[in-house]
Amino acid sequence: MGEIKIKKLTTELLDIPIKRPHQFATVKVSSKSFVLIRLELSNGFIGIGEGTTPGIWWNGESVETMQLVIEQYIAPLLAEEDPRNLETLLQRINRHIRGNAFAKATVEMALYDVIGKIYNVPVYQLLGGLYQERIPVRWSLASGTPEGDIQEAKDYVMSGQYHIFKIKSGKASPSDDVRRSIHIADGIKDDSTIGIDPNGSWDRLTSKKSMEDLSKSNIDFIEQPLPPNDIEGLAQLADMKQVPIMADESLQSIHDALRLVDQKAADIFSLKIHKSGGMKNTVKIAGIAEAAGISCFGGTSLESSIGTAACLHAYCSISNLDYGSELFGPDWLADDLVTDPITIKEGQIQVPHQPGLGVELDEDKIATYKRTCKQGVSN
């Protein structure tokens, strides 16, 4: 195949509107920001990667910090290197740069994309092969009101687009959050069920007092009810065996996975390729979960079709992804960045089978949504 070298790495920031405002625990958003990277090789092949976060409040990274780290610190480490030596490159990046998992995952994504193109295989073949072609998707109800969430869920069930749901909590007090969650669960009990995601905003006492009532409302799971460092508290909730406890913010590395297993602090692992530093680490974490008898859930950072494709390649290679996913990003955005966006049909999403990530950039859309000035600055 001959010598192949990385010749160029470029980045650009993009801002895409979403279909309706989305309420997180700490902020309400009406658009989503991305950093897009292109990795150009000496043979003319180009790998693409997409970085995005729920927000800087979630893990301390933003698209702006990711762009800086990638351009100034990661790009020089890759110059003139063979992208096929993936593990060597990833270890070099880790030795030189602490943390910055989202930035690292974005670069790894582009490397996997271009390696898949070199060998003419989809990325899932580089991760161990395909276990399942499609995955169920949960829609996140975050209209801002309980009545709005109930109606949105009923509308989606009626249309057949989505069948199961998740709700965001954390804006109100923990006790009010619990009452609101039960109200929504009871409001759609004849149609569907929900999982709850407080993003680490609840306290131990309220959570313990509420577990029985949440169980009676058939809550599917509680995702990260307590702050990320409160592993002991998560273990106490899991030990109550009322509602399955899912770890998300507490699970950001293979080392976190081992700690959660050791302390029996989670029934479900929420996987996310960006928070764990890439697809390879995500598959490793799923392997730790499998050894411990823990189920996995395919989490999202609300990616476009680019990042969603990367998630799919990883998740579809995992055998213990028992709780489906929430890969609704392409449906949540008002537009996309690729020529053939990934679609969700009847609550299912399918992995692309083309070489690499299996998606191609739409250059007109890139030009439309490219950021041309600093956000938050006006004359």
Which H or E run includes 21? strand 6-23
Q: Are residues 110 and 147 in the same domain?
A: no
Q: Are residues 172 and 104 in the same domain?
A: no
What's the pLDDT tens digit per position in 109-162? 999 999 999 999 999 999 999 999 999 999 999 877 899 999 999 999 999 999
Q: Are residues 107 and 141 in the same domain?
A: no
Q: Are residues 117 and 196 in the same domain?
A: no
The answer to whether the beta carbons of residues 210 and 183 sit under 8 Å apart is no
At residue 55, does pLDDT exceed 90? no
The answer to whether the beta carbons of residues 278 and 108 sit under 8 Å apart is yes
CATH code (residue 98): 3.30.390.10
Rounded to 5 degrees, what are φ and ψ at 253? -160, 170
* Edge-first strand listing for the sheet containing 222-223: 138-141, 164-168, 194-197, 222-223, 245-247, 268-271, 295-298
Domain membership flag for residue 306: yes
Q: Residue 57: what pLDDT?
A: 85
At residue 82, does pLDDT exceed 50? yes
Q: Are residues 91 and 229 in the same domain?
A: no
Distance, in Å, from the CA atom of 8 to the CA atom of 311, rounded to the nearest integer, reads 25
Q: Are residues 152 and 194 in the same domain?
A: yes
User: 36 pairs with which residues across the strands?
Assistant: 12, 50
Q: Quick check: helix, strand or coil at residue 32?
A: strand
Q: Are residues 92 and 116 in the same domain?
A: yes
Catalytic residue among 32, 280, 326, 365: 326
Q: Are residues 268 and 232 in the same domain?
A: yes
Residue bearing tokens 């460092």 = 229
Cα 264 to Cα 9, 144, 359, distances in angstroms = 42, 34, 39
Domain membership flag for residue 357: no
326 is catalytic: yes
Domain membership flag for residue 379: no
Please state the rounded mean pLDDT for residues 33-37: 98
Q: Are residues 31 and 60 in the same domain?
A: yes
Q: Residue 250: what pLDDT?
A: 97
Distance, in Å, from the CA atom of 25 to the CA atom of 339, rounded to the nearest integer, reads 33
Domain membership flag for residue 194: yes
Distance, in Å, from the CA atom of 198 to the CA atom of 245, rounded to the nearest integer, reads 12
Please state the rounded mean pLDDT for residues 257-284: 98
Please state the rounded mean pLDDT for residues 223-250: 97
241 is catalytic: no
Q: Are residues 150 and 279 in the same domain?
A: yes
Q: Residue 246: what pLDDT?
A: 98
Please state the rounded mean pLDDT for residues 81-107: 97
Range of 61's domain? 6-121+362-369
At residue 16, does pLDDT exceed 60? yes
Domain membership flag for residue 378: no
Nearby residues of 261 by Cβ (< 8 Å), 6 or more positions away: 288, 289, 291, 292, 294
The answer to whether the beta carbons of residues 283 and 127 sit under 8 Å apart is yes
Distance, in Å, from the CA atom of 224 to the CA atom of 213, rounded to the nearest integer, reads 18
Q: Residue 376: what pLDDT?
A: 47
Please state the rounded mean pLDDT for residues 279-292: 98
Catalytic residue among 168, 171, 272, 280: 168
pLDDT band at 375 (very low <50, low <70, confident <90, very high): low
Of 373, 325, 362, 268, the residue nearest 135 (C-alpha): 325
Domain membership flag for residue 374: no
The answer to whether the beta carbons of residues 181 and 169 sit under 8 Å apart is yes
**Count of domains forming the chain:** 2
Cα 147 to Cα 28, 138, 151, 190, 234, distances in angstroms = 18, 19, 6, 15, 30
Domain membership flag for residue 317: yes
Residues in the chain: 379
The answer to whether the beta carbons of residues 49 and 110 sit under 8 Å apart is yes
Side chain identity at residue 149, one-letter code = D
Q: Residue 378: what pLDDT?
A: 34
Q: Are residues 161 and 12 in the same domain?
A: no
Please state the rounded mean pLDDT for residues 49-58: 91
